[in-house]
Amino acid sequence: MVVDGESMEPTYAAHGFNFCVLTAYRSHAPARGDVVVLKYGGTRYMLLKRVLAFEGETVAFSNGVCVVNGQPLDEPYVVKNSG
């Protein structure tokens, strides 16, 4: 899979090539922070995204911080800009 865009940087570089194990979650559910592949609209187009929350949880963003169920989410993979 080729990454088209910068939404997953710095974990996955734009235009980088990545292998995806499409059977990875047959034996267990994804965990918060995992990167998953989503099939988009029945096409061969796929999305590479990170799991932030699960069904029934609330998500908000406050001052650039992701908040899940009222608690700031620890996101060690996010690079903070100093400016």
Query: Residue 57 pLDDT more than 70?
Result: yes
pLDDT for 37 equals 85
Please indicate, yes or no, whether the overall pTM of this predicted structure exceeds 0.85: no
Number of domains in the chain: 2
For the segment 12-45, what is each residue's pLDDT rounded down to a tens digit?
Answer: 888 888 888 878 889 999 999 998 888 877 777 7
Residue 8 CA to residue 78 CA, distance in Å, equals 9
Sequence-distant (6+) residues with CB within 8 A of 17 are 1, 2, 3
Query: Residue 54 pLDDT more than 90?
Result: yes
Same domain, 4 and 43: yes
Expressed as residue numbers, the domain containing 4 is 1-51
Same domain, 45 and 79: no
